Chain A
Amino acid sequence: MVVGVLALQGDFAEHCAICQSLDVHHIEVRTVKDLAKVDRLILPGGESTTISKLLKINGFDTAIMERVNTGMPIYGTCAGAILLATSIDNDESIETLKLLNVQIERNAYGTQLNSFHAEIEIQGVKDPIKVAFIRAPRITHIGVSVDVLASHNGDPILVKQGKILAGTFHPEVTNTTEIHKLFLEL
């Protein structure tokens, strides 16, 4: 199995490091050609406006939709979760992939001064884990066939729909491997 980490912009190196620590074969995905070589894909954290533009220029928008619609598991963190959503409440300028049946709000907690760490409990994971919310988005509407795997202060923060996993936080910067393990089991 080869895990691809979308490497257009953002903290793809941190996701690669988690894959490395789990001893999972992984490659950086910069072109549609690279995408053809992978069995799963991680959309990292980063700036969602930047990544969405680079997705389109490189033809990834249709290529990723085709792969996910034919069963490829995909996991988005923060910016990656925004890109998977059906729509963004407070920004119409970003074209999302519309693969995950949720609505999401960008920078929902405010500027960097409002970024925070939290201990979260996840369905199917034994111990609470420490993760970072960095200028994080908030999932504002959950559509049909979407399961909530974790919440924080009443907001869903980790959701799953079939083989699509999305989280509004960053397990990759606190060296947390639990979420990646969940993803690898999808």
Chain B
Amino acid sequence: MEAHNTLGQDFAKMFKGGVIMDVMNPEQARIAEDAGACAVMALERIPSDIREQGGVARMSDPKMIAAIQAAVTIPVMAKVRIGHTAEARILEELAVDYIDESEVLTPADPFKHIDKKLFKVPFVCGATNLGEALRRIQEGAAMIRTKGEPGTGNVVEAVRHMRLIQEEIASLEEMDNGQLANFAIKERITVDALERVREARRLPVVTFVAGGIATPADAALLMGMGAEGVFVGSGIFRSDNPAERAKAIVRATTHFADPAVLLEVSTDLGGAMPGLEIPVLETRMQDRGW
């Protein structure tokens, strides 16, 4: 393991118990920072806008990302298309703190994800199950998040992915060596990686949830299931009162097991983002990536 990769994994530990918020301009970035976000994700269009407007979604203009870097003191992340090594090199040159190789953007490579071990900047990647998470980690991802279904305000897919990852980790304990080897071949990962997960009973990197989180209760639900922190995309700045909702989700993430706090922060928040049922979607972003 390269030293910078270890540093990226350890940096992710500093996000734990926190909320990483999508922001589209310096003003939103400051609202997020004031609300207690532990990092911001700079992007030109939040997932719900990408769904509505369509077209190819690419890395944001570096000028916009730089303006956000200048506006806040907390870490700044930004997204690149799946497999788009050149976009990643540009963001590394810009010295963002983390790169999200994200299914929210239109994929650039139909065969391969970015070889993330070649970079000094750390990467976070989405996953829907254990095999996908371990493929990304094998490529050098220093942090994993569920994919969920971005831009829907519908938490069901993030819950599905969290449960799948956990159930598959638990199922490793029941496998004999032959079954473990077969699972490794099927999922294109090493037996060694699987054995380490079986031993530790968890993924080897910090694991957040993302995709469809819209309320403080959504954040608490997933933290209670064992998530180590939360990404909120469209859920904040598509709601009626972003500043208050952002603060509420931060508190709910910390006090996920305290119903009194959850009641307090959930009360009189104004409207959440409208939200979408999964079966009516034209594009399932979670299916992007391989």
Give chain A's interface residues, CB within 8 Å of chain B. Answer: 7-14, 30-31, 45-47, 49-50, 53-54, 57, 78-79, 91, 106-107, 110-113, 115-117, 132, 134-135, 170, 173
Contacts and interface: CB of A to CB of B under 8 A. Distances in A.
Given A7-B254, A13-B16, 19 more contacts: A7-B17, A10-B14, A10-B18, A11-B13, A46-B17, A47-B14, A49-B73, A50-B36, A50-B37, A53-B35, A53-B250, A111-B75, A111-B96, A112-B75, A112-B97, A115-B11, A117-B7, A134-B7, A135-B11
A113 B38 contact: no
A164 B13 CA distance: 24
B95 A111 contact: yes
B13 A113 contact: no
Contacts of A12: 16-17
A113 B33 contact: no
Contacts of B80: none
SS of B interface (majority):
loop
Contacts of B34: 53
Interface of B: 3, 6-8, 10-11, 13-18, 33-39, 73-75, 92, 95-98, 120-122, 250-251, 254-255, 258
Given A50-B36, A54-B251, A11 B14 contact: yes
Contact of A107 (B18, B73, B96): B73
- For A7, A112, A117, A170, the residue with the greatest tally of chain B CB atoms inside 10 Å of its CB is A112
Contacts of A10: 13-14, 16-18
Nearest to A173: B10
Contacts of B254: 7-9, 30, 54
Contacts of A30: 254-255, 258
A132 B7 contact: yes
B98 A112 contact: yes
A110 B94 CA distance: 12
Contacts of B10: 132, 134, 170, 173
A135 B17 contact: no
B11 A9 contact: no
A9 B73 contact: no
A53 B36 contact: yes
Contacts of B15: 46-47
Given A111-B95, A115-B7, A132-B10, A11 B16 contact: yes
A82 B106 CA distance: 40
